[in-house]
Chain A
Amino acid sequence: MDRVDILIVVGRVLLVFVLLLLTTVFNVWLERKVVADMQNRVGPDRAGPWGLLQTVADGLKLFFKEQVTPAKAEYGMFALAPLLAIVPAFLMFMVVPFGQPFTIAGRLVPLQGTELNVGVLFVLAMSSLAVYAVVLAGWSSGSKYPLLGGVRATAQAISYEAAMGLAMVSVIMFASTSTVGGSLSLSDIVAGQAGTYLGFVPRWNIFPQVVAFVIFFLAIIAETNRSPFDLVEAEQELVGGFHTEYSGMRFAMYQLAEYCNIFSMSAICATLFLGGWNGPTFEGDVPTFVSAILPTVWFLIKTYAIIFSFFWIRATMPRLRYDQLMQLGWKRLIPAALVWLMVSTVAISVRQFGLPWN
């Protein structure tokens, strides 16, 4: 471990950090623009070209605003909760590979924050940690509506995390058929999706695991508290939900964390189901730097396809009632995930070891 190694590690972490910040700035604008287009409106178009700097302007404004603390707030927790939201949101993306590994100074550098052999578990851990931010914010605000939002967040997160985890299990089991010994590392799961079925269908996990994809997709919408599962911050019922009492930079941190979570979760969805950065690189036909950057482009295209469907669903669906949310989680998604897990286990075993009576 010499100086170059340290520089590379710092560079990778910085790259992930900057990428997340930039995509957050872009995603807030994109969401407002997409929703505006779906409502026959213009959307933000004043700040910068096409209004792209709108988020920067909003952020600057929030930066200079007063941070109000309610009289009955538990101050320590109240100040800590936004940090608890933002740190897991950034950490979650660290394990996602977003490009082809490349060689620098004689070292093979994977294009991801950190190569973790339990990447999937890390993702699950971080997404559960994010719930603490919401719950603690709701409790420490010392106010009714945030508390209700926080309580809703606990129940919602527990219900949907189970479905999400089960959907992930069937994908990992399926991926273990293409990786020797199986792996929880996201880069191994991406590598296992290289190539094609029948010569033209990309070897993505979504095709054999389409049910798991649907369950996972619904679960990550609920997990990131997005409409139609945004009961945690339901404006019409709970004012602002858990962040009612937050203002200034602390509120901005919650916004940042929410959009970081959307990006990270979509990236993980793309990694698990849509082949990650796999895609044609046209090596030899195009300049080297183009074929080196193309995997990242494929990755971003896939991620943004999922993010766009997040926004699309947000612009379309009314919010679920709380009992509907619980019914969908416990009575539909978890049984479906369990059945699918059994079906895919049987299918994988038969493929691997043959029929039991043979």
Chain B
Amino acid sequence: MAGLGAFLKGLRVTGKVMVDTVFGDGLVTTKYPEEFRPKPQRFHGRHVLNRYPDGMEKCIGCELCAGACPARCIYVRGLDNPPEHPVSPGERYGYVYEINMLRCIFCGLCVEACPTEAITMTHLFEMSTSNRGDAIYTRNELLMRPDGSVPHMFPEDPLAKMSELATADGWVRATAPSGVAAYEGVQAWQGTPGPASWAPEPTQEELDA
């Protein structure tokens, strides 16, 4: 008889779940290609190379991202800026920039290593390819266009929402807006890829107040 009680108890659980799923909000799955779930702010999707508002590339070809990469999937060659038409504000710029997306583990260490916030991550993760060569993203795919839009391997892909390329993962090691020393080490959220012109997050003291 105790078995029967447990039996009915089990039936009640599944019955309740069914009622929740059919009539309530019990459904936990989404119909993915049609419905996109909102991703967490810090979601690590594919990379993008940013520009300054005046169109200058942020990447200075320092190879710190390649050094930080635990999967060793980033290959960078720097080249001296041509004096009359500088590509980046620094001494050099990223002449060759390649990320092998098959090797990348999307840890974000390259983003943290970058001294100029040149490389950030976006929310797009639909990157499947039919050959391995396509999985190596070069400067052509990674570097954002002067108007701020980001190129992608598959512009017509029905699965990929290109707008997600405009959403940065938000985890940027910001020294400061416009380099004010008071903000040294304060982390700030960035909603979109692009120039660092955002306000820093409030400090813990400000939050407590």
Q: How far is the CA of A106 from the CA of B18 in the complex (A)?
A: 49
Set of chain A residues within 8 Å of B17, measured between Cβ atoms: 37-40
Q: Are B7 and A41 neighbours in the complex by a CB distance under 8 Å?
A: no
Q: Are B29 and A42 neighbours in the complex by a CB distance under 8 Å?
A: yes
Whether B22 sits at the interface, judged by CB under 8 Å, is: yes
Binds B, one of A64-72, A185-193, A309-317: A309-317
Which interface residue of A41, A315, A316 has the most chain B CB atoms within 10 A? A316
CB distance from A86 to the nearest CB of B (A): 31
Given contacts A313-B11, A315-B14, A317-B7, is CB(A40)–CB(B31) below 8 Å? Answer: no
Given contacts A37-B18, A37-B21, is CB(A316)–CB(B13) below 8 Å? Answer: yes
Set of chain B residues within 8 Å of A39, measured between Cβ atoms: 17
8 Å CB contact of B10 from A34, A36, A316:
A316
Q: Are A42 and B14 neighbours in the complex by a CB distance under 8 Å?
A: no
Q: How far is the CA of A311 from the CA of B22 in the complex (A)?
A: 16
Q: Are A40 and B26 neighbours in the complex by a CB distance under 8 Å?
A: yes
Classify chain B's interface size: 10 to 19
Q: How far is the CA of A33 from the CA of B21 in the complex (A)?
A: 11
Whether B153 sits at the interface, judged by CB under 8 Å, is: no
Per the 8 Å Cβ criterion, residues 249-281 of A in contact with B are none
Set of chain A residues within 8 Å of B13, measured between Cβ atoms: 316
Per the 8 Å Cβ criterion, residues 36-86 of A in contact with B are 36-42, 45
Set of chain B residues within 8 Å of A315, measured between Cβ atoms: 14
Contact with B along A322-349 (1 / 0, CB 8 A): 0000000000000000000000000000
Q: How far is the CA of A41 from the CA of B29 in the complex (A)?
A: 6
Set of chain A residues within 8 Å of B18, measured between Cβ atoms: 34, 37-38
Q: How far is the CA of A315 from the CA of B20 in the complex (A)?
A: 15
8 Å CB contact of B27 from A40, A313, A316, A317:
A40
Whether B15 sits at the interface, judged by CB under 8 Å, is: yes
Q: How far is the CA of A36 from the CA of B7 in the complex (A)?
A: 20
Which interface residue of B10, B18, B29, B31 has the most chain A CB atoms within 10 A? B18
Known: A38-B15, A312-B11. 11 other contacts (CB 8 A): A37-B17, A39-B17, A40-B21, A40-B26, A40-B29, A41-B27, A45-B31, A312-B15, A316-B11, A317-B7, A317-B10
10 interchain pairs, CB-CB under 8 A: A37-B21, A38-B14, A38-B18, A39-B17, A40-B26, A40-B27, A40-B28, A42-B31, A316-B11, A316-B14
Q: Residues of A at under 8 Å CB distance from B? A: 34, 36-42, 45, 312-313, 315-317
Q: Residues of B at under 8 Å CB distance from A? A: 7, 10-11, 13-15, 17-18, 20-22, 26-29, 31
Closest 4 interchain pairs by CB?
A38-B14, A40-B28, A316-B14, A37-B18
